[in-house]
Chain A
Amino acid sequence: MYINGCGAISPQNTCGDIFPFPVSNSRTTALACREPDYKLVIPPKVSRRMSRVVKMGVTAALTALKEAELETVDAVLAGTGMGCMAETEKFLCAITEDNENYLNPAPFIHSTHNTISSQIALLLKCTGYNQTFVHGPASFESALIDGMMLAEEGIHENLLIGGIDEMTPNLNRILKRFGLWKRQPIPNLDLMESQNKGTLAGEGASFFLLQQQPNTTTYARLADVAISPQLRHQSDEIAYINDFLEKSKLSPDHLDLCLLGKNGDSRIDSSYKALENRIQQTCPTSAYKHLCGEYATASAFAMWLACHCLKSQQVPDYLAHHDPVGDHINSVLIINRFINNRISLILLCAHQ
C-alpha cells in the first residue's frame, strides 16, 4: 500500500510544510503538542463540540486527506492507547462531585474510545468500515494490520489510518506516581543521553492516507507491519525481524535506517541494547521519542517521520546523529519493544 498523504499534530513543528522541521527543544518533563488553530481546519460549528484529542485526530486526518487530494475515504481506522482521556476524567469527576445527580451526558458520549474515528467519519460522511484498536503500544500497528487486510480484500480502496493519544494533567500525575517520568526537567533533545530512570511524557496524533496505487503525492510504500507473539529470548527477536524482512525480500543489510522506540529510561533502553547492537552492525539506528515524548501510539509519529525522510530523501540531524545514513534512503524499519516481550515492526520503502 502507498502512503499518499500524512498529517501530524505533535510536540514538534509538524503542522507546517517544512521538512526537516525546525526542531523544538525545551527543558521539561512532559512534551505537549504544538497545536494549530483548529478553526482553520475544522468548521467552527463542529469544532466547538469536539474535545481536544478529537480535534487533534481530526486535524491530522484532514491534513492527510488534503495532501492526497481526496474528499473522503472508504474506511477510517484508529489506534489509541488511552482514548479520550480528558472527557473520561471529566465524567468521572462529575460523578464524584455531583454525587451522581444531574449529569451532563456530553463528556460520557465523547469519552468513548471510538469517538475520534467516528467524528472523522461523520465529518467526511464516510459510511464504510470504521474501527478503533485500543491495545497500548500495539494499538496503531493493529490498525495498520487491519488496513493491510482491508486493502487485500479489495473492497476498500482509500483508507485513513492513525494513532492518537492525549496527555492530561491527571493522567500525567498518575503515571508520575507509577515512576514513568523523569524526576527533573531536561531538554528533550538530551533525552537519549540522560540514562537514568524515567522518560518524558508525550502525546500526538498522526494520520495516514493509504491507497493501492502510488501517485504524485506518494511518501512511501507501506511494505509490511507485524506484532510479534511473545518472544522468550532476545535472539528470538532478531530471528523474528529476519523472517519479517524476508517476506519483503529484504535482509537487515538492505535497511537504510532503523527507528527504535527507546525512550531514555535506562530500564527500557537496556532492553533494546542487544537488538540495537545487532542492527547497528548493518544499519544506522536512531531513536525518535526525544521529539515526541512517550505515549502508546508514538510509533505513528515515527511512521510520520519515516515517511518524510523517504520522500525528501533526508534524515535530519536531530534524528540520526550517531551514524551516517547512506546517499539513497530506500527502506526504513520502525521497531518497538513492549514490556511483555513482544515487538512491533513497520517497514516502509521509498517509492520510485
Chain B
Amino acid sequence: MAGIKPGWEISRTALLGLIAAREAIKEAGLSAVQARGCGVVSANSVGGMDRSERFYPDFLTNPSRGKLRSVKGHECGFSTDFIASQLELHGFCTTISTACSSSANSIMFGARLIKHGKCDRILVGGCDALTRFTINGFASLKILDPEGCRPFDENRSGLNLGEGAGFLVLESESSVKAQQKTPIAEITGYANTCDAFHQTASSPDGDGAYQAMRQALQIAGIAPAQVDYINAHGTGTKNNDLSEGRAIEQLFHDSPPDFSSTKPFTGHTLGAAGAIEAVYSCLALKEGLIFPNLRWQSAMTDLAITPNLELKRGQAVRHILSNSFGFGGNDSSLVISQC
C-alpha cells in the first residue's frame, strides 16, 4: 500500500506515516514546485521500535548478530526524513516526541512556523505503529483494559492501544488567498503546558489541562461558550479522565459543550493520536458532525459532566477544542475552526 519494497526493512511507523502523508499532500493539491518547498513536522513516540525490537533479541545473544537494516530507522527523525524524501518535500524538516501529545505539538509548531512567516506551507502530523515495547510498557503500568476502553465511565479500567498516522497540510492565509483555495479548516488556537506534577500521572485537578485549554482559546480569541465540541484526550484510564474531566468543568463550569473521546474507535495511537483526532475534528467541522463516546454506561462520581453518546449530524460546528496529553505532564490543546 505504501509502495515500498518489503526488503528495505522500513519501520511500520514510517510506512503508516507515508500513506497518510501522501493522501494529505494529494488532497491539498500542491503544485510540484510548492511540494518541493513544503516542509515536514512529524511526531512519534518510539521511532522505528517495531524493527528495533526484532533486532535486539539476536543482538543480545551476540553483538555481531541482528540485521543492521532493522535498526537503521530507530531514531524518531527517520520516519520524517523518509516521508519527506519519498514525497520529495524538501523544505524545513523536524520531529517532535513528547509521548502521547507528540502530534498535537507538531501541528502547533507547524502553525507557529507559518505564523512567524518561516514557511508558506508545511505538512504536520504524526505516526506510530503498535510495538511490543509500548504494549508491554502500558501493560507494566497496569493501565491496559483487556476489553474495549470506556472513557469517562465510572467503571473505566484503562486504555486500548492503537496505531496509525494523521497528517494535515497547513498553508498560510496569504497563500490560500492568493490561490483562491477553499481550506478545510483553520488552526486558530494552540497551547502547550506542563503539569509539573508527576512523570506519568496527571494532577488530579487537571491544572495543566485546564491551562492548555484556556490558553488555546485565548490565542484563538474565542470564549469558552463559543466552543461547539471538545474532542477529549479521554484515554479511559482512571487518572486521565478524572483530571481532564475536572479541567473541562473548571473551564466550562455548568455548561460544557458536547465532548467525547474517539479513542474507543481507534485505540490510543500515542504519537499519532493528536493528528488523527485533528483530522476527525476537520471532518466534524466540514460535515457538521459530533462524535459519540462509545461504551459509556455510568457517570463518574467525581464529575458532574457526561460525554456525548450519539453521532449527531447536521450540527453547526464552528470551533472544536482538541486535547492531547502525554507523559511528563505534557498537555496540549488545539482550537480548530471553520474558515
Q: Report yes or no: A114 in contact with B98, Cβ–Cβ below 8 A.
A: yes
Of B71-79, B164-172, B179-187, the stretch lying at the interface with chain A is: B71-79
Which of A96, A115, A149, A178 touches B112 (beta carbons < 8 Å)? A149
Of A119-127, A181-189, A191-199, A328-336, the stretch lying at the interface with chain B is: A119-127
Contact with A along B77-121 (1 / 0, CB 8 A): 100110001000011111111110000010001001100101000
Q: Report yes or no: B60 in contact with A93, Cβ–Cβ below 8 A.
A: yes
Of A32-40, A103-111, A259-267, A310-318, the stretch lying at the interface with chain B is: A103-111
Complex CA distance for A128 and B191, rounded to whole angstroms: 10
Q: Report yes or no: A134 in contact with B91, Cβ–Cβ below 8 A.
A: no
Q: Report yes or no: B59 in contact with A118, Cβ–Cβ below 8 A.
A: no
Q: List which A117-151 residues lie within 8 A (CB) of chain B.
A: 117-119, 121-122, 124-136, 138-139, 142, 145-146, 149
Complex CA distance for A297 and B327, rounded to whole angstroms: 23
B212 to chain A, nearest CB (A): 10
Which of A95, A126, A136, A174 touches B132 (beta carbons < 8 Å)? A95
Contact with B along A73-108 (1 / 0, CB 8 A): 000100001110000000111011100100111001
Q: Which residues does chain A contribute within 8 Å of B91, judged by CB atoms?
A: 229
Which of A119, A130, A142, A296 touches B98 (beta carbons < 8 Å)? A130
The 3 closest A-B pairs by CB, nearest first: A118-B328, A108-B137, A113-B97
Q: How many residues of B contact A (CB 8 A)?
A: 60
Interface on A for B, CB 8 Å cutoff?
76, 81-83, 91-93, 95-97, 100, 103-105, 108-115, 117-119, 121-122, 124-136, 138-139, 142, 145-146, 149, 152-153, 170, 173-174, 177-178, 227, 229-230, 296, 340, 342
Q: Which residues does chain B contribute within 8 Å of A131, judged by CB atoms?
A: 96, 98, 105, 109, 192
A259 to chain B, nearest CB (A): 22
Complex CA distance for A132 and B102, rounded to whole angstroms: 9
Q: Report yes or no: B52 in contact with A92, Cβ–Cβ below 8 A.
A: yes
Complex CA distance for A153 and B219, rounded to whole angstroms: 11
Contact with A along B233-252 (1 / 0, CB 8 A): 00000000000000000000
Q: Report yes or no: A134 in contact with B63, Cβ–Cβ below 8 A.
A: no
B222 to chain A, nearest CB (A): 18
Contact with A along B137-151 (1 / 0, CB 8 A): 101110000000000
Complex CA distance for A229 and B91, rounded to whole angstroms: 4
Complex CA distance for A117 and B98, rounded to whole angstroms: 9
A sample of 17 inter-chain contacts (CB < 8 A) reads: A92-B53, A100-B132, A105-B141, A111-B137, A114-B98, A117-B98, A118-B328, A118-B329, A122-B328, A125-B196, A127-B195, A130-B193, A132-B97, A149-B116, A174-B59, A174-B71, A177-B64
Q: Report yes or no: A115 in contact with B199, Cβ–Cβ below 8 A.
A: yes
Q: Beyond A114-B97, A173-B63, A229-B39, is A122–B199 a contact (Cβ under 8 Å)? A: yes
Whether, in the assembled complex, B326 has its beta carbon less than 8 Å from a beta carbon of chain A, the answer is yes
Which partner residue on chain B sits nearest A340 by CB separation?
A: B81
Q: Report yes or no: B193 in contact with A127, Cβ–Cβ below 8 A.
A: yes
Q: Report yes or no: B56 in contact with A117, Cβ–Cβ below 8 A.
A: no
A298 to chain B, nearest CB (A): 15
B133 to chain A, nearest CB (A): 7
Which of A110, A111, A125, A138 touches B77 (beta carbons < 8 Å)? A138
Q: Which residues does chain B contribute within 8 Å of A145, judged by CB atoms?
A: 118
Q: Report yes or no: B194 in contact with A128, Cβ–Cβ below 8 A.
A: yes
Q: Report yes or no: A81 in contact with B75, Cβ–Cβ below 8 A.
A: yes
Q: Beyond A100-B136, A121-B328, A126-B194, is A227–B94 a contact (Cβ under 8 Å)? A: yes
Q: Report yes or no: A135 in contact with B94, Cβ–Cβ below 8 A.
A: yes
B275 to chain A, nearest CB (A): 16
Complex CA distance for A128 and B331, rounded to whole angstroms: 10
Whether, in the assembled complex, B188 has its beta carbon less than 8 Å from a beta carbon of chain A, the answer is no
Complex CA distance for A132 and B194, rounded to whole angstroms: 12
Q: Which residues does chain A contribute within 8 Å of B60, judged by CB atoms?
A: 93, 96-97
Complex CA distance for A80 and B208, rounded to whole angstroms: 24
Complex CA distance for A258 and B40, rounded to whole angstroms: 29
| Sample of 9 further A-B pairs with CB below 8 A, known A93-B60, A173-B63, A229-B37 | A112-B99, A112-B328, A113-B99, A128-B193, A130-B328, A131-B192, A133-B94, A229-B93, A296-B75
